[in-house]
């Protein structure tokens, strides 16, 4: 009959710890180690490589390991080489040893999880052959490490804050490191560290997310804590640019990264202004918004509306601002009025407030042929589309195939930014009913919405427009 793997004993209190030690002959010096409640902890006891080499035969033939607690003297766990395991009832199933530990000279006791009352002195007695070794240790319990923020609650962008790391570890603090999103934070500039605290001046939305502190003590113990920092501020790019076709409607975005009312913050208001002719012109006031959105709607956009706008949001006495630039796209033909067949025509695509990295592309979206009495639009098909690069498109000899809708689109590193459309007609053709205004969103979820305009655009509409071709 094989031996029973467990021998049930009366209930006992069980103590565990974390350390790294090796067995030394005779009365070993007692080590003091630290552990945290809830961790997987190891009560270490192992032979040195030299002792393992000289004792491998005895380890193979016969080994007995017994762990005792001195808090209330009792046996915590005993293991024989044969596999017989005895342990206190309170240790089931928390205590164990590595199955391969004996032959490798490792007799460490593993306990998971560590309980709050597990503190005190421990001793391991190892017998193999005629040899006896002891491991003595003392466990000091770390009751916990936590991080707090001041002021508490949801923080507003630009308001200074203080992260504080608290630990009950009794040893002397010798080092502190701070991490944001898993990356080490250099303590300079906006970040200042002193002992257990980190101050952040002018925090931004980018400072949101998990922060961790790592405290190092004089006994080489390291403890850490994590805090998920919430910061209320603007969503999207820092200084967005909205590209809109002349004559269209458009929206200027002013969106917070979270809904203030969901965090119990009420009375949030916003006002829009525009820097026009050196004067600050108030364009609109919005209160509370819809889930943190304070978008400004412009029903019709003209070149005179282009420029920089400012959205100022007031939250609990703190005001944060976001600048938005409106760039208006126009098309100016080189021939005013009707275009005769065979003429040379330039279509010039202009953009107010360019950032310098944009590039332009022309393409024919649809074409129409005159049968003398009506205008027939051909279906839009990629197979018949014609493309031209640059802000200026040249038609050396205008013909019937050029009739239809032409689109000038502007592109940047983030993709397509906006577009304006132009309807080309030739003398003698019958003009259809002009297209109505309509809008389409930008493909990028982070970019503002773009509204395109379908209409006849000639230089008569914008006599003062100046454009320099690419």
Q: Is residue 406 part of a domain?
A: yes
- Using the Cα atoms of residue 147, residue 152, residue 153 and residue 156 in order, give the sign of their dihedral: negative
Strand 454-455 to 415-424 pairing: parallel
Phi then psi for 59, rounded to 5 degrees?
Answer: -65, -35
Assess whether 166 and 125 both reside in one domain: no
Tens digits of per-residue pLDDT, 245-263? Answer: 999 999 999 999 988 888 8
Ranges 167-176, 284-293, 417-426, most confident: 417-426
Is 268 contained in some domain?
yes
Residue 173 included in any domain: yes
166 and 222 co-located in one domain = yes
- Number of structural domains found in the chain: 4
Confidence band (pLDDT; 50, 70, 90) for 49? confident
Q: What count of other Cβ atoms lies within 10 Å of the Cβ of residue 339?
A: 22
Q: What whole-number distance in Å separates Cα of residue 171 and Cα of residue 217?
A: 6
Element (H, E) at 58: helix 49-61
Regarding whether 16 and 127 lie in a shared domain, the answer is yes
Highest mean pLDDT among 7-11, 243-247, 287-291, 312-316: 243-247
Residues 118 and 18 in one domain: yes
Domain termination residue (choose one: 89, 119, 142): 142
Same domain? 446 vs 347: yes
Cα separation, 93 vs 237, whole angstroms? 54
Residue that finishes a domain, picked among 232, 263, 292: 232
- Do 290 and 187 fall within a single domain? no
Question: Is 460 within a domain?
Answer: no
Cα–Cα distance measured from residue 122 to residue 63, given in angstroms and rounded to the nearest whole number: 19
pLDDT for 449 beyond 50: no
As a whole number of angstroms, the distance between CA 453 and CA 408 comes to: 11
Asked if 418 contacts 410 with a C-beta cutoff of 8 angstroms, the reply is yes
- The model's pTM is 0.59
Query: Which residues, 6+ apart, have CB-to-CB distance to 131 below 8 Å?
Result: 55, 58
Co-location of 165 and 118 in the same domain: no
Helix (H) or strand (E) holding 313: strand 307-315
- Express each pLDDT in 131-180 by its tens digit: 888 888 877 776 667 888 999 888 999 999 999 998 877 788 899 999 99
| CA pair distance 431, 330, nearest whole angstrom | 21
- Return the top range by mean pLDDT from 15-24, 58-67, 303-312, 457-466: 303-312
Please state the length of the chain: 470
Mean pLDDT over each residue of the chain, to the nearest integer: 76
Is 1 within a domain? no
Q: Is the pLDDT of residue 28 over 60?
A: no
pLDDT digits (tens, 9 = 90+) for 361-386: 999 988 765 433 333 444 444 435 67
pLDDT band at 11 (very low <50, low <70, confident <90, very high): very low
- For residues 368 and 430, membership in a common domain is answered with yes
- Kindly tell me the burial class for residue 93, based on how many C-beta atoms sit within 10 Å of its own C-beta (0-12, 13-18, 19 or more): exposed
Is residue 116 domain-shared with residue 163, that is, in the same domain? no
Query: What is the per-residue pLDDT for 86?
Result: 75
Q: Same domain for 339 and 318?
A: no
What's the DSSP call for residue 119? -
Query: Which residue among 326, 346, 377 closes a domain?
Result: 326
CATH of the domain at 247: 2.60.40.10
Is 283 inside any structural domain? yes
Q: Which of 197-211, 338-352, 359-373 has the lowest mean pLDDT?
A: 359-373
Residue 331, SS3?
strand
At residue 267, the pLDDT reads 82
Residues 228 and 293 in one domain: no
Per-residue pLDDT reduced to its tens digit, 63-104 = 788 887 776 657 777 777 777 777 676 677 777 777 777 777
At 240, is the pLDDT very low, low, confident or very high (cuts 50, 70, 90)? very high
Domain membership flag for residue 178: yes
- Residue 408 · residue 351 · CB < 8 Å: no
| Whole-angstrom distance, CA of residue 434 vs CA of residue 438 | 12
Q: Residue 90 sits in which domain range? A: 8-142
Which of these ranges, 194-198, 232-236, 262-266, 450-454, has the smallest mean pLDDT?
A: 450-454
Q: Is residue 467 part of a domain?
A: no
Q: Are both 32 and 99 inside the same structural domain?
A: yes
Structure tokens at 239: 């200084």
What is d(CA 98, CA 267) in angstroms, rounded to the nearest whole number? 61
330: left (phi over 0), alpha (psi -120 to 50) or beta: beta
Neighbours of 198 (CB within 10 A): 24
Q: Which two tokens stand for residue 19?
A: 């350390």
Return the ∠ at Cα 92 (arms to 89 and 93), rounded to 5°: 180
pLDDT at 279: 61
């Amino acid at each position: 009959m094989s031996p029973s793997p467990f021998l049930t004993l009366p209930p006992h209190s069980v103590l565990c710890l974390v350390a790294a030690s090796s067995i030394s002959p005779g009365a070993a010096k007692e080590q003091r180690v630290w552990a945290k409640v809830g961790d997987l902890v190891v009560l270490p006891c192992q032979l040195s490589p030299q002792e393992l080499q000289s004792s491998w035969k005895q380890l193979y033939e016969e080994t007995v390991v017994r762990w005792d607690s001195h808090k209330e003297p009792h046996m915590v766990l005993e293991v024989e080489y044969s596999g017989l395991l005895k342990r206190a009832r309170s240790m089931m199933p928390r205590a164990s040893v590595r199955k391969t530990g004996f032959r490798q000279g490792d007799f460490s006791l593993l306990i998971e999880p560590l309980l709050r009352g597990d503190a005190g002195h421990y001793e391991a007695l190892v017998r193999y052959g005629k040899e006896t070794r002891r491991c003595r240790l003392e466990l000091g319990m770390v009751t916990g490490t936590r991080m707090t923020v001041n002021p508490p609650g949801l923080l507003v962008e630009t308001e200074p804050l203080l992260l504080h790391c608290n630990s009950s570890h009794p040893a002397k603090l010798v080092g502190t490191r701070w991490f944001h999103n898993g990356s080490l934070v250099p303590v300079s500039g906006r970040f200042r560290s002193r002992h257990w605290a980190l101050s952040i001046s002018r925090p931004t939305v980018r400072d949101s997310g998990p922060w961790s502190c790592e405290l190092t003590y004089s006994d080489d113990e390291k403890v850490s804590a994590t805090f998920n920092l919430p910061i209320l501020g603007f969503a999207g790019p820092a200084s967005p640019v909205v590209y809109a076709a002349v004559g269209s409607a458009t929206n200027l975005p002013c969106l917070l990264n979270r809904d203030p009312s969901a965090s119990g913050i009420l009375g949030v208001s916003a006002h829009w202004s525009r820097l026009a002719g050196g004067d600050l012109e108030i364009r609109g006031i919005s209160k509370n918004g819809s889930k943190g959105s304070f978008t400004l709607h412009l029903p019709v956009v003209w070149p005179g509306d282009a420029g920089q706008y400012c959205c100022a949001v007031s939250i609990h006495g703190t005001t944060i601002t976001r600048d938005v630039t409106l760039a208006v796209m126009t098309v100016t033909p080189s021939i005013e009025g009707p275009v005769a067949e065979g003429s040379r025509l330039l279509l010039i695509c202009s953009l107010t407030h360019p950032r310098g990295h944009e590039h332009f592309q022309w393409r024919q979206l649809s074409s129409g042929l005159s049968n003398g009495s009506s205008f027939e639009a051909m279906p839009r098909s990629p197979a018949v589309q014609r493309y031209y690069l640059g802000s200026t498109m040249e038609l050396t000899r205008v013909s019937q195939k050029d009739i239809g809708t032409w689109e000038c689109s502007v592109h940047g590193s983030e993709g397509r930014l906006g577009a304006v459309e132009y309807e080309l007609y030739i003398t003698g053709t019958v003009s259809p009913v002009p297209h109505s205004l309509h809008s389409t969103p930008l493909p990028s979820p982070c970019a503002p919405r773009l509204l395109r305009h379908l209409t006849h655009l000639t230089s008569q509409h914008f006599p003062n427009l100046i454009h320099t071709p690419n």
